[in-house]
Structure 1
């Protein structure tokens, strides 16, 4: 496979760093699942001394800055029994990773590097070791915490042998659903979040299973967080459904951003890889126009976009043609939204669900050949360089970060769209075919303006001739054309 970065012109993409007053659309996220990344034991013995994993993540910061990262999303960090989503103590860092001092140190190091810090907040359910659930196991109906969990029934036994039944997340009884209506539950959870903000100085949260949280629960959480930090950022996990239900806007009846600030864009995630695998850009066309077109549902909502994460198969395991990884990531960084990279995927590592484990999706950093892929200069090094280039391009284009979206061209294997912000226009063309193909767009569709366009990736220039702009796109690659480029003089 040819090196895609051969199509980059030398030093065409400057680097940049963001200050604390940056907009959320200026952020490039890097997602780390700490228990996996740090190689923590799969089971917590609740007796071992605190580990050093969290502190070691700080050593990785220089490489994140080289890549262009300015925001970090850390998966579950607080004391749990297994994978982190079965919390037993919201006030103490999981001993397998370190302690509260280690988290405080890590956040300080990220902030010193200009990196925003977002933590995973598991507020829909706890683990069976959570103190309130253990009290019910011991005290039964006499427990002061009998109303802390959803659908507790002392007339029935649970599928796992308790002498009472309860609701588990998605039928999983290791994850005990909390009763979000209960005032004491809310005070405990919101108190923990306020503790995280005050003690660790975090900048935002990703709410696990947010689509299962009560609307007024999220409203109160948002209000309490933003009283402590006015720019505190809240993102909700939602796999399917109307994202406006979590953020506001649309038909929700509440103002955009009044509840949560963003949602995980699983709809676009699926369209990204499926369009390449099926060589059918009509699918992503439908998604993008529905979300961001002239009447798009989410035009005013900066959704969190990704190619993979800790819950789905690695994109390099999903994509049929590995060469398509390059234009796929190119789209991720040129489309509307807040783009994110899942650790290691910038090297093209693979990983798939097993019947009884997600461990392959969440490897330790020194496994899976991640370091070797970078050092050997193979696909991993080429992908890393390409992604850094896409990030640099986005960081220096207001149109790509904040601009409107307008579709210009679609076919099964080729697609083109415009991003516009003020006087800046960026035209993106993608080719999923096996051969170089030309994309042809009428001057009328371009809306007039400049007759000359420059590819920010290669440095080549193209002109509108006889009322048409035509430009070739290499196989499994893309172009990003700009009609105004003050920093490329």
Structure 2
């Protein structure tokens, strides 16, 4: 057991949160990082135990065009500021991981500057991929080179060059000795060389016990990256997509199918999230804002390591605008939210979930077993030794009854509501309120959590960032006597194959004005809440796609064929990938999937 196995992460994009200038003039350091110290206290207050912060090091603009891996960005402060910041996090019991941008550097990096000055005579000419002194580029360098995502601002490092590998490994050693960092999130890990990642893992094992390597990976078989030789974890974009679209489409089959598919990859501790610095805010993506509650109950209780992106615990909005990510990375003042745990139901829920997660080991280490599944209700168990914890969620606008197989105890307590239910004939009978979720723990579990409303959260925006929060009540007139058995009906079994976990294609774009880095990892279009399945039996592999048609006007088989065509453009499409596509017969889900390919 390592610290990251039971971590609750908080994610900060520091250049945005501190309101740093978009461009670095490399002037005198401005100590903006120190303004984030109160955020560390906030992280602890809402049950966080680890911080992912970055990018941090000297760069030209958005942070991913590194100029110096060993110097804190001048817009944030000095190395001494960063050392003190990490030390304060550790004093509060919070681990820290940095953003490791090792796939590419900026054009101001010393090795690239040397090539500009010395051309063929540069000792660093092999540090980058395919440097061609017969070529040229828009900067009129008199040579060309491989870049990342089509942008010459990001110069691709040659990860097969031993000198580059040794340099980056020394950077990791420096980060540990200088700043005492606890791990690294590897940017663009899905395009990193595997031998390069193996070298990083050997270095991680050397520098510090339980030093954590987590990689940014969009789709595919995550076990390719997560294993004993490469990384400890990767970003779980597959679950990320399912969590919001499964609610927008009232389709819990999609979420359950996604979890099963991830389970089939092996026992992986994936990094779970509902939003981050590259994708729109969860509150923006949800068609029904009341689904904020069940989405986060799932985030904190499904297998994996949960993470909250700064500000989303307040229910703020964030939508991509004009090809820029700036609105996803706003400057916030923690003083504006100092009472949020008491006054904002979104924050109160996140804080309660964080404390429950820390108090209930089964949520970190327990096995997963599906108990009940319909389009609108979902329940599962997390079993650890003789302890069974039960999670129930409901995306319907009416309460729903559930009959769920319980563990070997006399009664359960709702960790969020405080409600007590007795075990009868090995089951509990509960009524799950509308648009809500609950974590049922054996009576006597030491939680130290005050009851909160994990339902019908409503946020009214007063401007683009700050929000006033109100909780709306459950519509008791819509109460239902329906009881769903934990053994699936034949209808449930038949529908079980209908949902798939669409994958997203990675791409990065840059804003012309700010050179900001944007990773297009998902469809940002709204899903229609009342998606319907199609019975069209056509084989998508026999269909010629008419690319002049809009995704919305395509039939389900046409959409399936289009998705398969897009996937094949990224590499071989195996049988499992084909099955994932053809099993998904939900029109709106396929539309979103197709739109995710940029």
Q: Which category of TM-score, normalised to the shorter sequence, fits these structures?
A: 0.7 to 0.9
- How many angstroms apart in 2 are the aligned matches of 1:105 and 1:303? 29
- Aligned position for 2:438: 479
Q: Does the alignment pair 1:440 with 2:440?
A: no
Q: How does 1:201-280 map to 2 (within 5 A)?
A: 201-248=180-227, 257-280=228-251
**What is the deviation of 1:25?**
2.2
For 2:353 and 2:156, locate their aligned partners in 1 and report how far apart those are by CA, in whole Å. Answer: 41
Identify which of 282, 291, 298 aligns with 1:324: 291
1:89-100 aligned within 5 A: 89-100=68-79
- The farther-off stretch of 260-269 and 153-162 is 153-162
Partner of 1:152: 131
Match of residue 111 from structure 2: 132
Match of 1:355 among 310, 313, 322: 322
The residue number in structure 1 matching 2:279 is 312
Task: Note the alpha carbon deviations across 1:9-48, whole angstroms, 9 max, x for none.
Answer: xxxxxxxxxxxx86312211111111011110000011x2
Q: Is the 8 A contact 1:289 1:407 kept in 2?
A: no
Aligned position for 1:60: 39
For residues 208 and 285 of structure 2, what CA distance do their matches in structure 1 show? Answer: 39
Q: CA deviation at 1:184?
A: 1.4
Between the two proteins, the alignment pairs up a number of residues equal to 448
Deviation at 1:464, TM superposition (A): 4.5
Q: Quote the offset at 1:225 in angstroms.
A: 2.4
2:94 is matched with 115
Distance 2:314 2:141 in 1: 46
**Residue number in structure 2 paired with 1:29:** 9
How high is the TM-score relative to the length of structure 2?
0.72
Report the secondary structure of 2:431's partner residue. strand
RMSD (CA atoms): 2.0
CA contact (8 A) 1:439 1:470 kept: yes
| Aligned twin of 2:304 | 337
Q: Which moved more, 1:128-137 or 1:334-343?
A: 128-137
1:436 positional shift: 0.8
Answering whether residue 260 of structure 2 is matched by residue 297 of structure 1, we say no
5 Å-filtered alignment, 1:161-200, equals 161-200=140-179
Is the Cα contact below 8 Å between 1:424 and 1:484 reproduced in 2?
no
Deviation for aligned residue 1:159: 4.6
Kept in 1: contact 2:379–2:393 (CA 8 A): yes
Distance 2:301 2:341 in 1: 26
Where does residue 16 of structure 1 map in the other structure?
none
Deviations, residues 357-404 of structure 1 (Å, cap 9, x unaligned): 2111111123xxx754665899x7111111111111111111111100
Q: Distance in 1 between matches of 2:304 and 2:382?
A: 12
Separation (CA, whole Å) in 1 of partners of 2:330 and 2:434: 32
TM-score (norm 1): 0.87
SS in 2 for 1:89: strand
In structure 2, what is the equivalent of residue 449 of structure 1?
408
Structure-1 residue corresponding to 2:23 = 43
How big is each residue's C-alpha offset from its partner over 1:299-336, in whole Å with a ceiling of 9 and x where there is no partner? x2211111100011111111111111111111111111
Q: CA shift at 1:451, angstroms?
A: 5.4
Deviation string 1:111-130 (CA, Å, 9 cap, x unpaired) is 11111010000000001111
2:386 and 2:408 in contact (8 A); partners too: no
Kindly state the Cα deviation for residue 450 of structure 1 after the two structures are TM-superposed. Answer: 3.5
Cα 1:100/1:436, change in 2 over 3 Å: same
User: How do 1:454-473 and structure 2 match up within 5 A?
Assistant: 454-465=413-424, 469-473=428-432
User: Where does residue 331 of structure 2 map in the other structure?
Assistant: 364
* 8 Å contact kept, 1:203–1:232: yes
Contact 1:374-1:381 within 8 A present in 2 as well: no
In structure 2, what is the Cα distance between the partners aligned to 1:50 and 1:373?
28
Report what 2:392 is aligned to. Answer: 429
Q: 1:346 aligns with which of 298, 313, 316?
A: 313
Unaligned runs of 5+ in 2: 449-598
Is the 2:394–2:435 Cα contact (8 Å) retained in structure 1? Answer: yes
Aligned to 1:394: 357
The alpha carbon displacement at 1:193 in A equals 1.3
Deviations 1:393-418 (A, max 9, x none): 11111111110011111111111101
- Secondary structure of the corresponding residue to residue 290 of structure 1: helix
Q: Note if contact 1:347-1:374 (Cα within 8 Å) is conserved in structure 2.
A: no
Aligned counterpart in structure 1 of residue 375 of structure 2, from 394, 403, 412: 412
Q: 1:440 to 1:304 in 2, by over 3 A?
A: same
Q: 1:265–1:304: 8 Å Cα contact kept in structure 2?
A: yes
Deviation at 1:440, TM superposition (A): 2.5
Structure 1 stretches lacking a partner, 5+ long: 1-20, 249-256
User: Which SS does the other structure have where 1:92 is aligned?
Assistant: strand
Q: Say if 2:49 and 2:94, in contact at 8 Å, map to a contact too.
A: yes
How many Å separate the matches in 2 of 1:290 and 1:278?
A: 20
2:344 alignment partner, SS class: helix
User: Structure 1 residues 376 and 58, CA, compared in 2 at 3 Å: closer, same or farther?
Assistant: closer
- Provide the secondary structure at the position in 1 that maps to 2:332: coil
Q: How does 1:13-24 map to 2 (within 5 A)?
A: 23-24=3-4
- Which residue is 1:10 aligned to? none
Counterpart CA distance in 2 for 1:434 and 1:322 is: 12
Secondary structure at the aligned position of 1:385 is classed as helix
What SS does structure 2 have at the residue aligned with 1:85? Answer: coil
| Change over 3 Å in CA distance of 1:468–1:172 after alignment to 2 | same
Partner residue of 1:17?
Answer: none
Partner in structure 2 of residue 254 of structure 1? none
Shift of 1:155: 2.2
**Closer, same or farther: CA 387–61 of 1 in aligned 2, 3 Å:** same
Write the distance in 2 (CA, Å) between the matches of 1:467 and 1:338: 30
